[in-house]
Amino acid sequence: MRRQLPFFFVFLFGTFMVVQNFVPHEYSERAKEFLSDWTIIIGIFALALGIWSLIHVSLDKINKRKPNWEYSFVTLVGLVAMIFFGFTANVSGSWLTYFAALMVLLISLWLLVQGILGAGAGVTKAKEKFFAGIGLAAIFTFIALYDKSWAFHFYTSEGLENPLFKHFFSDIMVPLQATMFALLAFFISSASYRAFRARNLLATLLLIAALIVMLRFTPGPWGDLISKTSTWVMNVPNLAAQRAIVIGIGLGMVATALKVILGIERGYMGKG
Amino acid sequence: MKNLFNMSRFKIVFTVCVLLSLYSFVNAQAPAVTTVGITPPAPVTELTAVDTDNDHGHSITVKWTPSADDGAGANNVLGYRVMRSNSFEGPFNDTVGVVPLGSTNFENSSSIEEGAEGFIPDNTDFYYRVDALTGDSLVFSSSEVTGPVHSYGQWFNKGLIPVFFAVIIFTALTVLFVSAARKGKELYVRPLAGIEAVDDAIGRATEMGRPILYVFGLGVASDIATIASFTILSRVAKRVAEYQTNLIVPCYDPIIMTVAQDIVKTAYMDAGRPNDYKEDAVFFITQAQFAYVGAVNGIMIRELPATNIYMGKFYAESLMLAETGVVSGSIQIAGTDEIAQIPFFVVACDYTLIGEELFAASAYLGREPLLLGSLKAQDYAKAAVLVLALLGILAVNFSGDLGLTWLVNFKDWFKVID
């Protein structure tokens, strides 16, 4: 029963969604919206599991002092700090107690998690750390309740207007992502250097085609011929190959979906 | 005598004034107003309003024949204004749309949410009128009123009939070949280098004492490529459990993480080594694309896996992952359904599953008759697509020359309107 029930649900909902695709009626649309909302809800609960997994793995690395454990420390500090910044807003303009509260929160969480996870793993003084964490959490709660210079904001967007939240996102996170994306240019250069070599006929054709397409976007005395040839290469053989692969992918996707719905494909259940 | 002449002149002037006033009064009642230089255009004709087909309701399509002065005649039509009312007599105060000149139809639609702006309730009678507009907002011509018409939702989208039949035929083919496979019929499938390399790659990792890195990519659990990847992971995890090699599975999506944890755990239990399963082997990193790439690249540089397996949906990060794998000296096997990323994997990886080969991988790895049967159905469906494509080329280019009149409308049989 434990294994049959998931297959039954997969068959039921899979068949329903296939039929829904052909039924444009309002009731069908509402059912689809209802199910889509549920996938979002499941995703949010799964996110909690994901965050716990990240914390668990990071703490394990820090406790066992594995190579580069410092990065896991930065990960955890960043995680807690951004959550704190996103749920709070500075009210009075004074930042002293705000940062003091954040430090107290970080230390208390560190001690609590060490105490909880370390109890079974033989971490020294796990119990003491746990109670110390409780004490610091109480201090943090006291500061949060009685300090009027900052406030918690749940269910509202004031936290998103917190200048620290905005600065950490736009001045740290976004530039870091852009930096990683920029590295792609260097990776493409190194991959091209390895790939575009005249080892055999097909590789030589690839080299010539790549050269023509690259020259088209390079300023120089190439004239119309390079531009027209490049356009032909992109619009005829390249597009033909892409469409052939797309047809294959489309059929493969339909076949896989059918196999999953009919219970022929069971790999996602852990049993192939 | 003089007074009499004056009286007559007065009467003439008075009469002319009265007549002019009457004339102005009569013209003020007409919907079309003449101003200096702009005359009212001819109204639109053959105005019809019908429920929009193949939709969820709450939509009415209005069609008309353009005014004779639209691009011809007086050539003073600038557009058309569609007006709506709940009764034939009006008033037509509700402007539901304005379309440019040359237009012959307008779809008056709304969302299914009752509180939405411009909501059109189903099964409610409406009447429509179309005004031909000119450069002067006061100068226009109104058409005859059409109606009553009401909107309602359809239970079957007739525009998807070709897709419906294709699904039925493909399902029938799959069932046919799966039944044949169940009866023990031998089904040949061509060898795939990438799939055959998986076992060797796992063996290499075991001999070198280094872990295997398995990456799902940036897809979500509902992507078909990710589902295909789950199946491949279950096979890889079983081999890994048998060989007692380390497996690292960093996940982008937390739902994929939970499914993958269950798959790997089950694989270890099936291999008879439940105690060897490490829960931290499958973990979540982040849902930010390049932060995920940075983390996985860091894992590659630190852990130096012997084998990297990339199976799923990848985007711009594909080359970054593959190139870092080259630097770390790993053997790399990749498979994705993203067309734009396949060339990057072909260049940087040792083996690449292109397009549908990713979806066929589960059948190759397990060699189960049921899965091989579905592969055969795929192949026959592809052959059918090839034949239809050739017929389509003939239909579009040569049907007239070859006298094959039945081919003229061939492409319309497969038209899909969603």
pLDDT tens digits for range A113-150: 878 776 555 556 778 888 888 988 888 888 888 777 77
Chain mean pLDDT for chain B: 86
Q: How far apart are CA B66 and CA B83, in angstroms?
A: 16
Measured in degrees and rounded to the nearest 5, phi and psi for residue B109 equal -130, 165
Which CATH superfamily groups domain B45-149? Immunoglobulins (2.60.40.10)
Please give the pLDDT value at position B178.
83
How far is B21 from B18, CA to CA, in rounded Å? 5
- Single out the residue in A66, A100, A121 at which a domain terminates: A66
Higher pLDDT, B9 or B265: B265
Nearest CA in chain B to A72: B295
CA distance A63 to B73: 87
Mutate to test the interface with B, among A18, A25, A40 (most CBs of B within 10 A): A25
Which domain, by its residues, includes A12?
1-66
Question: What's the confidence (pLDDT) of residue A91?
Answer: 67
Q: Is residue A165 part of a domain?
A: yes
3-class DSSP assignment, residue B98:
strand
* Structural domains in chain A (count): 2
Same domain, A128 and A146: yes
Please list the residue range(s) of chain B that carry CATH number 3.40.50.1220.
187-367
What confidence score (pLDDT) does residue B155 get? 93
Give the burial string for B333-357 (b: 16+ CB within 10 Å, else e). Answer: bbbbbbeebbbbbebbbbbbbbbbb
Least Cα separation, residue A185 to chain B (angstroms):
10
Put simply, the answer to whether A267 touches B232 (Cβ < 8 Å) is yes
Do A61 and A73 sit in the same domain of this protein?
A: no
Note whether B316 contacts A: Cβ–Cβ < 8 A. Answer: yes
> What are the chain B neighbours of A187 within 8 Å (beta carbons)?
319-320, 323
Residues A13 and A85 grouped into a single domain: no
| Chain A partners within 8 Å of B371 (Cβ) | 259, 264-265
Distance CA A34, CA A54 (A): 30
B179 contact A CB<8A:
no
Question: Residue A159 has what pLDDT?
Answer: 66
* Contacts (Cβ under 8 Å, ≥6 apart) of B80: B44, B64, B66, B67, B98, B99, B101, B103, B106, B130, B131, B132, B133
- Asked if the model's pLDDT at residue B3 lies above 60, the reply is no
| Proportion of chain B above pLDDT 90, given as a percent | 56
Mean pLDDT taken over chain A: 86
pLDDT tens profile B20-57: 545 444 444 445 544 567 788 999 999 999 999 999 99
Please, is B100 exposed, middle or buried when counting C-beta atoms within 10 Å of its C-beta (0-12, 13-18, 19+)?
exposed
* pLDDT mean over B197-216: 93
Final residue belonging to a domain, choices A36, A66, A96: A66
User: Which chain B residues touch A22 with a CB distance below 8 Å?
Assistant: 156-157, 160, 163-164
If you measure CA to CA, which chain B residue comes closest to A41?
B255
Q: What sign for the dihedral angle of Cα B339, B340, B342, B343?
A: positive
Least Cα separation, residue B220 to chain A (angstroms): 10
In contact, B330 and B208? CB cutoff 8 Å:
no
CB contact under 8 A, B347 and A242: no
Q: CA B313, CA B292: separation in Å to the nearest integer? A: 14
Predicted local confidence at residue B81, as pLDDT: 95
Rounded to a whole number of angstroms, the distance from the CA of A83 to the nearest CA of chain B is: 14
**Closest residue by Cα to residue A226 from A213, A208, A244, A243:** A213
Domain check: are A184 and A105 in the same one?
yes
CA distance B62 to B50: 7
- B290·A192 Cβ contact <8 A: no
> Which residues of chain A have a CB within 8 Å of the CB of B234?
267-268, 270-272
* Segment B368-379, tens digit of pLDDT: 778 888 888 888
CATH 2.60.40.10 residue ranges of chain B are: 45-149
User: Which of A13, A39, A66 lies at the terminal end of a domain, its last residue?
Assistant: A66
Whether A251 maps to a domain, the answer reads no
What local confidence, expressed as pLDDT, does residue B389 receive?
85
A177 belongs to a structural domain:
yes
Q: What is the pLDDT of residues B123-133, one digit of tens each?
A: 999 999 999 99
What percent of chain A lies above the pLDDT cut of 90?
Answer: 34
The predicted complex's ipTM stands at 0.87
Asked if residue B322 lies in contact with residue B344, where contact means CB atoms within 8 angstroms, the answer is yes
Distances (CA, A) of B123 to A30, A172, B62, B82, B115: 18, 55, 17, 20, 17
**CATH of region B187-367, choose from 3.40.50.1220, 1.10.260.40, 3.30.200.20, 3.40.1360.10:** 3.40.50.1220
| Tens-digit pLDDT profile for residues B282-300 | 999 999 999 999 999 999 9
- Which is more confidently placed, A98 or B251? B251
Tell whether A244 is covered by a domain. no
The predicted-structure confidence for B128-185, as pLDDT tens digits, reads as follows 999 999 988 889 999 999 989 999 999 999 989 988 988 898 889 888 888 888 887 7
| B356 inside 8 A of chain A by CB | yes
Q: Dump pLDDT digits (tens) for B55-98.
A: 999 999 999 999 999 988 888 899 999 999 999 998 998 899 99
Decide if A1 is inside a domain. yes
Q: pTM of the entire structure?
A: 0.82
A72 and A38 co-located in one domain: no
| pLDDT average, residue stretch A237-265 | 90
Across the A:B interface, residue pairs with CB atoms under 8 Å apart total 208
Q: Do B347 and A23 touch (CB under 8 A)?
A: no
